[in-house]
Amino acid sequence: MSGTWMTTRAWLLMLPLLVIMVAIIGWPLVDTVRLSFTDAQLVGTSGNYVGLDNYTNMLMGSNFTRTLATTTWFAVVSVAAEMVLGVLAALLLNQQFRGRAVLRGLMILPWALPTVVNATLWRLIYNPEYGALNAALTQLHIIGDYRSWLGEPGTALAALIVADCWKNFPLVALIALAALQAVPRDITAAALVDGAGPFNRFRFVILPYLAGPLMVALVLRTIEAFKVFDIIWVMTRGGPANSTRTLSILVYQEAFSFQRAGSGASLALIVTLLVTVLAVAYAALVRKTAGSAA
């Protein structure tokens, strides 16, 4: 059977899937691009052509600049904390001790919880009237009075970052733990015999095996953190005073709360472009890391 016929047959077998993908992804994307060049409202009118006005108004507006800064800060701090906590947890769970299997199973629970459930739990923990965090801090005499952690602009974003880290660092830990299982025992034993301390063993023996998998975890978590919506919407809805509003929440508000479908579509495409740039940059970094490791 010729190679040309095999290729044609493969495309024919893939055709139903391609048609479904175009219908589900392609057409909504094209329609979103069309809407972004109009002043369409969500209800009542299809809108008139306004060119690049939606894009320029969004990019030049103070709301976009402030929201982009909030989103970037949330992504950078939460992902950095998750990477550090995940690696430390993986190093701990890679040791031999009684109850290790149970602890590994328990560590998966935060990541396995639905995001809405996780957000609701943390909202109860931060509750200004009966929250567990206020109770613990007052009993330890760290604070004198109960505080509204999610109601103050100075603490709301930090509280959200803690909740997001608690849910997602187990994913990094599982990826790092799987990589640690591949580190040859004789290499670590030889480094120990040669007198290498814990830091040097980690830096020169273990870290090269972790670099590739951790880069994958970094890519996945950065993209997810940059387009975060659900945990923030459940806990603060972008408040107080828009101090926790991210780009995804701004898209929702523009399109549905303010019913400006045109500007909402343009902002959604801007966010999509930013996430795509991140994905491409990280993919290139992953290939470079894999090539150097090889």
Strand partners, 49: 38
Question: What pLDDT score does 172 carry?
Answer: 93
pLDDT at 87: 92
Low-confidence ranges of the chain (pLDDT < 70): 1-3, 44-45, 189, 191-196, 286, 289-294
User: pLDDT digits over 193-249, tens only?
Assistant: 666 677 777 777 778 888 888 888 888 898 899 989 999 999 999 989 899 999 999
What's residue 137's pLDDT?
93
Q: Tell me the pLDDT tens digit for each residue of 265-284.
A: 999 999 989 888 888 887 77
| Per-residue pLDDT at 41 | 85
Predicted confidence at residue 294, as pLDDT, reads 53
d(CA 145, CA 42) in angstroms, rounded, equals 45
What does the pLDDT read at residue 202? 76
Q: How far is CA 221 from the centre of its chain?
A: 4
What's the pLDDT score for residue 125? 95
